[in-house]
Amino acid sequence: MKKFLYLLAAVAACAAAGAAGAHYTLKKEAPVVVETTVVHPDGSTSTTPSIYRTVNLTTDSYPDFTYAAEHSVDAVVYVKVTAIQQGYTPNNMLEYFFGFGSPSQRESVGSGSGVIIRQDGYIVTNNHVIAGANKIEVTLNDNKTYSATLLGTDPATDVALIKIDATGLPFIEMGDSDALRLGEWVLAIGSPYDLRQTITAGIVSAKGRSMPNTTGEFKIESFIQTDAAVNPGNSGGALVDKAGRLVGINTAIISQTGAYSGYSFAVPVNIVKRIVGDLMDFGSVRRALLGISMQNIDDKKASELKLSSPNGVYIADVAKGSAAEAAGVKKGDVLVAIDDKTVTDGASVQEMVTRYHPGDNATLTLIRDGRKKEVKVVFKGTVQENGTVDEDGAVAYFGAKLRPASQELLDAYNLKGGVEVVSVGEGKLAQQGVPEGFIIQYVNNQAVSKPQDVLDITKKAKRTVLLEGVNRNGRVSYYGFGL
């Protein structure tokens, strides 16, 4: 009974010291009965036998997030987005019920957050924050507002890069999301419900997390899951570690109400680095492709394949002409590592591969017929270099495919010449909303009749490219992008 009272006294002392802003650190020890030493802020000590780990209390509070918060908050910005939505205004009750009417436009306004990553105005946010924007405005913590230019987006990772014309800005240094540990403290900073520069704290609940994707779109998902409170408006904001380093971009929550319910998700900064680097250098993401279809492995599958553990992914198919086929990967292989990094599931494979560029080399560790096998792979890309000609004669142009417009198509629109956008793909044309079937008549005010004309004029352009042409509905449209 006396020992039990000592234990209660020690616990009470810890609680009192914690309430006064005490500092504690935990040392990893075996979960056996040990003597707990408590060092109080006044220098006195007390001991008691317990199964608890050693606790060291000092006059400094812990967890102390003041440095991380003050170091980071000025580099997290409020992003306001204005979009013009096309619609119809009914002129009578019949049109109202059947969805017809006169064409009309209305302005919609949304908001989110962004993170300054360089002092010269480069800002990372989410693709879904700025999607469809006609105007982007950024407001800093000092209430200065700037117009922002969209430099590029990557829907597959939900990352976008924008820029404002300013220098000497506060920015957040990028950390290493791979070094994050489960249970580590992190801060989420953003503007939920227009409450700007709001800071919440939580721990890393899981890594490499994926979420159900009902849209059918290809997504690279290997999220950091935290219990830091994130709400609408936090999207694009910063997830930082205790040192104030950027470790993720807050992106999503799982909720039945649309508000925070205990789970939030961030794109790891190591993925963000790769995407942002490509958007800065090329204006689009040069994504590496391995070319496999894969399945996660459960205990039953592991038993069937006679594996020692369910780690790795089962290769269900290998695409013809892919990097995997060229490396000698076969259907039925189990991929367990890429360059000595262990594969745990499909999400981890996606995260690893997205860090490579087309043309990069890697070593794949496979299990085939019960034996380990290493093969060398050279990754291929999703976007061909400008000017690359396919077997069907289509020419690559910033991720899109071009070919001379057929005479039948020209006659249909009463045009003398033009170049058809056969497919948009991923790249600058897709980012600017150029639709498939668009016929390019002029590039930088110069008439074009074949893809090579488009390429030649683009090469001579110093800053921007302006495309003028006709959409499938016959309406003349204009699209511009920076080089």
**Worst-scoring range by mean pLDDT, 24-28, 137-141, 399-403, 424-428?**
24-28
Tokens of 370: 């019960």
State yes or no: pLDDT of 14 exceeds 80.
Answer: no
Average pLDDT on 222-236 reads 90
Q: Which of 56, 73, 96 is the last residue of a domain?
A: 56
- The confidence score (pLDDT) of residue 241 equals 92
Cβ atoms of residues 13 and 40 within 8 Å? yes
- Confidence band of 45 (pLDDT split at 50, 70, 90): low
C-alpha to C-alpha distances, 372 to 20, 335, 399, 470, nearest whole angstrom: 57, 10, 38, 56
422 backbone dihedrals φ, ψ, rounded to 5°: -70, -45
* Cis amide leading into 49 (omega within 30): no
Between 478 and 42, the higher pLDDT residue? 478
Question: Is 388 part of a structural domain of the chain?
Answer: no
Catalytic, 128? Answer yes
Residue 438's identity, in one-letter code, is F
- Confidence band of 384 (pLDDT split at 50, 70, 90): low
> Which is the catalytic residue, given 111, 113, 158, 322?
158
Closest CA to 112 of 263, 234, 275, 258: 234
- The confidence score (pLDDT) of residue 36 equals 53
| Domain count within the chain | 4
Average pLDDT on 380-409 reads 79
CA–CA separation, 129 vs 160, rounded Å? 9
Pairs from 93-99 (Cβ < 8 Å, separation ≥ 24):
none
Cβ atoms of residues 314 and 282 within 8 Å? no
CA–CA separation, 109 vs 126, rounded Å? 16
**Worst-scoring range by mean pLDDT, 71-75, 312-316, 343-347, 443-447?**
343-347
Question: How remote is the C-alpha of 64 from its chain's centroid?
Answer: 28
* Same domain assignment for residues 308 and 334: yes
Residues 6+ away with beta carbon under 8 Å from 263: 205, 225, 227, 253, 254, 255
- The confidence score (pLDDT) of residue 212 equals 57
Between 383 and 450, the higher pLDDT residue? 450
* Same domain assignment for residues 251 and 301: no
* Same domain assignment for residues 258 and 401: no
* Same domain assignment for residues 319 and 413: no
- CATH value at residue 123: 2.40.10.120
Question: Is 311 part of a structural domain of the chain?
Answer: yes
As a whole number, the mean pLDDT across the chain is: 80
- The confidence score (pLDDT) of residue 394 equals 83
- The confidence score (pLDDT) of residue 170 equals 94
% of the chain residues with pLDDT over 70: 78
DSSP annotation of 390: -
Question: How remote is the C-alpha of 374 from its chain's centroid?
Answer: 30
Catalytic, 40? Answer no
Average pLDDT on 255-276 reads 86
- The confidence score (pLDDT) of residue 94 equals 60
State yes or no: pLDDT of 168 exceeds 80.
Answer: yes
Question: Is 373 part of a structural domain of the chain?
Answer: yes
* Same domain assignment for residues 89 and 131: yes
**Worst-scoring range by mean pLDDT, 37-46, 47-56, 115-124, 273-282?**
47-56
Cβ atoms of residues 162 and 130 within 8 Å? yes
Residue with tokens 């790769």: 274
> Which is the catalytic residue, given 235, 264, 284, 322?
235
Average pLDDT on 399-406 reads 88
- CATH value at residue 421: 2.30.42.10
Alpha helices by DSSP H, listed for 58-92, are 66-72
Q: Print the domain residue range for 182.
A: 64-285
Helix (H, G, I), strand (E, B) or coil at 216: coil
Helix (H, G, I), strand (E, B) or coil at 38: strand
* Same domain assignment for residues 109 and 190: yes
Q: Which of 285, 306, 321 is the last residue of a domain?
A: 285
- The confidence score (pLDDT) of residue 108 equals 81
Give the model confidence (pLDDT) of 283-330 as tens digits.
Answer: 777 778 888 888 888 888 888 877 877 788 889 888 887 888 889 999
Question: Is 326 part of a structural domain of the chain?
Answer: yes
Question: Is 386 part of a structural domain of the chain?
Answer: no
Give the model confidence (pLDDT) of 414-448 as tens digits.
Answer: 888 999 998 887 678 887 888 888 999 999 999 99
Closest CA to 357 of 287, 283, 268, 274: 287
- Confidence band of 22 (pLDDT split at 50, 70, 90): very low
Catalytic, 264? Answer no
% of the chain residues with pLDDT over 90: 30
* Same domain assignment for residues 446 and 419: yes
CA–CA separation, 194 vs 392, rounded Å? 51
* Same domain assignment for residues 363 and 259: no
Cβ atoms of residues 442 and 448 within 8 Å? yes
CA–CA separation, 134 vs 130, rounded Å? 9
* Same domain assignment for residues 164 and 224: yes
* Same domain assignment for residues 178 and 266: yes
Q: Which of 285, 316, 342 is the last residue of a domain?
A: 285
State yes or no: pLDDT of 226 exceeds 90.
Answer: yes
> Which is the catalytic residue, given 40, 71, 74, 128?
128
- The confidence score (pLDDT) of residue 386 equals 74
Cβ atoms of residues 51 and 44 within 8 Å? no
Give the model confidence (pLDDT) of 174-214 as tens digits.
Answer: 999 989 999 999 999 999 998 998 999 999 999 888 765 54
Question: Is 389 part of a structural domain of the chain?
Answer: no
Average pLDDT on 130-138 reads 88
Average pLDDT on 43-57 reads 52
Question: Is 390 part of a structural domain of the chain?
Answer: no
Cβ atoms of residues 253 and 264 within 8 Å? yes
* Same domain assignment for residues 196 and 246: yes
- Confidence band of 472 (pLDDT split at 50, 70, 90): confident
Q: How far apart are the first and last CA of the chain?
A: 77
* Same domain assignment for residues 196 and 90: yes
